[in-house]
Amino acid sequence: MNNYTKLRSIECGINKELTYLDISFDPKWEYIPLAKSFIEDFLTINMVNNEEIHKVGTAASELLENAVRYNHQNGIRMSVQNEVDESMVYLIIINYSDEMHAKRLLKRIKEMNKNDSLEYYLFRMRESIRNKGDSPGLGLARVFHESKAKITAEYNKEQKIVEVRASIPL
């Protein structure tokens, strides 16, 4: 089974009762703005207002940047689900990652979720200057604060697949 087929076969919790968009692509940086634009058009069709579209678009772009930057093998899958009744959008990003990067990501999300979003974003901004060259973690902090997202992640060690979920209130 090739990497794409494997990614596509993952049960990533898509509730087909909801309006959804599910896309897979090569981990190429140039595809990120295309995916962002595609997601924004999907939300426009589903009558999410302009301000919320920007919020979700920014979150999708930052999460995809992380996925592309730390991709271990080919293949990124992103699913967007719009829950109209609950006024929520769910972003699910699945990609291959080595254990070291995945563990660091899980640790960072755990640390982030213990903090106030603004304080954490400011902390990460200052850290990004102190540790130039290291992964600044600014993208995740931005999604946490600016999109008011609840972020969780899981790592499947056998398949080397990391799944990040962001629930964004509208």
Partner 1 sequence: MAGIKIDPVIKGGMELKAEGTTVYISGCVNHPSPGMFIEPFITEVHNKILEKKIKEIVVNITDLRFLNSAGIRELVDWVMKLSALEEGKKYKIKFLCSSEYQWQESSMTTLVYLSPECTSKETANPLE
Q: How far is the CB of 143 from partner 1 (least distance, A)?
A: 9
Alpha helices in the chain (DSSP H): 3-9, 31-45, 50-69, 99-113, 117-130, 138-146
The residue among 6 and 135 lying less far from partner 1, judged by its C-beta, is 135
d(CA 53, CA 39): 9
The residue among 85 and 134 lying less far from partner 1, judged by its C-beta, is 134
Binding site for partner 1 (CB under 8 A): 29, 32-33, 36, 50-51, 54-55, 58, 61-62, 65, 69, 118, 121-122, 125-126, 128-129, 136, 138-139, 142, 145-146
Q: How far is the CB of 33 from partner 1 (least distance, A)?
A: 5
Q: How far is the CB of 41 from partner 1 (least distance, A)?
A: 15
d(CA 47, CA 28): 29
d(CA 122, CA 97): 27
Whether the CB-CB separation of 19 and 43 falls below 8 Å is answered with: no
The residue among 75 and 139 lying less far from partner 1, judged by its C-beta, is 139
Q: Count the helices and strands in the chain (H runs, E runs).
A: 6, 5
Q: How far is the CB of 57 from partner 1 (least distance, A)?
A: 8
At 162, the amino acid letter reads V
The residue among 17 and 134 lying less far from partner 1, judged by its C-beta, is 134
The residue among 28 and 99 lying less far from partner 1, judged by its C-beta, is 28
Q: How far is the CB of 123 from partner 1 (least distance, A)?
A: 11
Q: Count CA atoms within 13 Å of residue 22 on its CB side.
A: 14
